[in-house]
Amino acid sequence: MSPTAPSVSRRLLGRLRDVMAGGGTAQDRLDRVVKLIAADLVAEVCSCYVMRAGEVLELFATEGLRKDAVHRTRLRVGEGLVGDIAAHARPLAIADAQNHPSYVYRPETGEEIYHSLLGVPILRGGRVLGVLVVQNRSLRQYIEEEIETLETVAMVLAELVAGGSLIPREEQIAADGNALLPLRIDGVKLNGGIGIGSAVLHKSRVVIHRLVAEDAEVEMARLKEALARMHRALDELLESQDLVKGGEHRDVMETYRMFAEDTGWITRIGEAIRGGLTAEAAVQKVHDDTRHRMTQITDPYLRERLHDLEDLANRLLQYLAGRGESPADLPDDAILFARSLGPAELLDYDRRKLKALVLEEGSPTMHVAIIARALDIPVIGQARDVLERVEPLDPVVVDGDGGTVYIRPGEDVMGAFQANLKHRAQRIAVYATQRDLPPVTLDGTRIGLFVNAGLPADLAFLGDSGADGIGLYRTEIPFMARSDLPDVETQAQLYRQVLDAAEGKPVLFRTLDVGGDKVLPYWQGGVEENPAMGWRSIRITLDRPAVMRQQLRALLRAAAGRDLSVMFPMIAEVAEFEMARAVLDMEIGRERRGGGRIPKSIRVGTMIEVPALAYQMDALLPRVDFLSVGSNDLVQFLFASDRGNPRIAERYDTLAPSLLGFLRHLVQRADAAKVPISLCGEMGGQPLEAMALIGLGFRSLSMPVSAIGPVRGMIRSLALEPLAGFVQSLLLNPDHSLRDRLKAYAADHGVQIG
């Protein structure tokens, strides 16, 4: 079949189109479809199972099995081979099905004479609606082209199954879905804050009415035009000034834009069109195939990228339908509900009216959560079945701090949260008036407050925040935003702009930190089971010394006559730092020999993210000018807890005695050697955590720009000496977390932690 698979697919799709357009009931059409599939795929049996309420698969139509088994044979999801296909949303091709350990015999079907089986899930919008199966008497080895053909046919059948004519749509609605009583749903905090407003359901997916193409060339032209329009709109979105605040979220949008030009994705869509599908159906088929493959990946971060691909697929479908991105007008107090959301989809909405976001899926590392944090929008993820329980314009309260959604709340709940929201607004106004006040404790100790940044545009907010400088500048963005490696002059021009915009305030440049969750289109590192602990960061650039040399050369030229601070990330042992420092020394010598103007001063340091480095402090400290603790990676490595895995993301607390004791050890050793040490990461931007860090001895913290105000207010309300003694007394405590004890201390001593 393989040489003629595309023609078979087109012929079969054409016949299916005629059946779908014909008369008769939905059951009549389904009966004709299974007969047609069996004939075209040279199978003795073709059967269609449809998902009923309670996760039961019912045999709805068959060609080859006994007719009286229709509507009698039922299998639970996970039961038998058909149930296994539904449970895992993946195809199965088995030459000897009866000897498979999952095989379950149903005598009423008469299937004992059939040995081989090929089955595929019937998918729509990522949800399993049923299973389509073909069987043969012989021990047949089904090939990849046959599997793809059956998947394409299943996609066409999905529209018939979902249409509501075979089984009523109400059958899939939860019993309490239309209740008018108050409802509380617990989820996971993805971004803190409180949102009060009216429910808005995220725009529904594009319904594809025409699946089979009449002219492949016409469909290819439509695809090309829709892609061009989508790329232009994304470019305009990236140029929006609304995106400059923060830093990490800009990385996200650059990566998202790169996905939109992925040649593999576009090529697969073209192949599906040439196989007989319309452009819309081809986009959906490729997305369903990709979704199936990515759900098999064990790494949570890579699986989270599926949301970005869903966003792109839906966005492209909107353009093919001639609509572009045009979300419905929002009420002034919109609470947006969605199963999942891509980063650009969130930006399609008017952020001035968007008060919170609630997702059925999600984790803290998903890209839409990063964008929402930059825009200060409260987000709750993993709110199970929330879309079935909320109606448009329902009154809603989102408690982002507690990870709870209140739908149709009572007056007492609504009143309590309205008072809380008013109090928060008052605090923000106070922070604005304190912008020019120094971050000095009550007993006179000054704490350096720095911001994390990723683009020159981020520095526009440096002056507004009153920060002391840039404590972490991520240099990887120009590498991620291009289809090829940027040259030395391109990099030098960018770094020069950063230094100019900082207007003399210090900027700490972190060298290239890619790999893991930051993929470059021109480097194929291969699939890794645990990318966070794999070939990433300094490990890549030490293996690609030309890349490191070019970046360091660009930094030296950009900082000519000025101060330069360079930090190497992900250092696991002093030997790695020595190798990186040797490359820098080589480039300094090269610039001098060439008559170039070198920086006025050069400070070199490292991030402490890998715990092993802490046990080489005696060897490390004489070799560095400064240290910076990268709390995000350090925490996950110290606890062996993947921060991208929602099941354990909040299992361990950053205020655990073990972590605080580890940090105290680092501070003591650095202070004894008179080496400055700071902390960058999410931990430094939380007032309570920042209070603990200051008590441990940190005198410099780097954080998102939005955290500067709250942390400054906390610093100006605390006395350092009693705090240091209290924190020191807690470090031998055996508790899971010291959070409650630190909160109590703040309350007793009037420390403003929000």
Task: List alpha helices for 327-459, DSSP H.
Answer: 343-347, 367-374, 411-433
Question: What are residue 308's phi and psi, to 5 degrees?
Answer: -65, -40
Structural contact between residues 414 and 395, judged by C-beta atoms closer than 8 angstroms: yes
Per-residue CA distances from 475 to 42, 251, 555 (Å): 58, 10, 10
Structural contact between residues 116 and 135, judged by C-beta atoms closer than 8 angstroms: yes
Note the Cα 64 to chain centre separation in Å. Answer: 45
Residue 80's region, left for phi above 0, alpha for psi from -120 to 50, else beta, is left
Structural contact between residues 534 and 543, judged by C-beta atoms closer than 8 angstroms: no
Distance CA 452, CA 647 (A): 28
Per-residue CA distances from 689 to 119, 255, 305, 669, 693 (Å): 53, 31, 30, 21, 6
- Concerning whether 46 is annotated as a catalytic residue, the answer is no
Q: Which of 115, 202, 292, 367 is catalytic?
A: 367
What's the one-letter identity of residue 249? Answer: H
Residue 99's region, left for phi above 0, alpha for psi from -120 to 50, else beta, is alpha
- Concerning whether 292 is annotated as a catalytic residue, the answer is no
**Per the structure block, which two tokens stand in for 737?**
């977390």
Q: Which of 115, 287, 292, 680 is catalytic?
A: 680
Structural contact between residues 369 and 379, judged by C-beta atoms closer than 8 angstroms: yes
Q: Which of 237, 201, 219, 212 is nearest to 324 (CA)?
A: 237
Distance CA 693, CA 660 (A): 8
Distance CA 574, CA 616 (A): 7
Q: Which residues are catalytic?
A: 367, 680
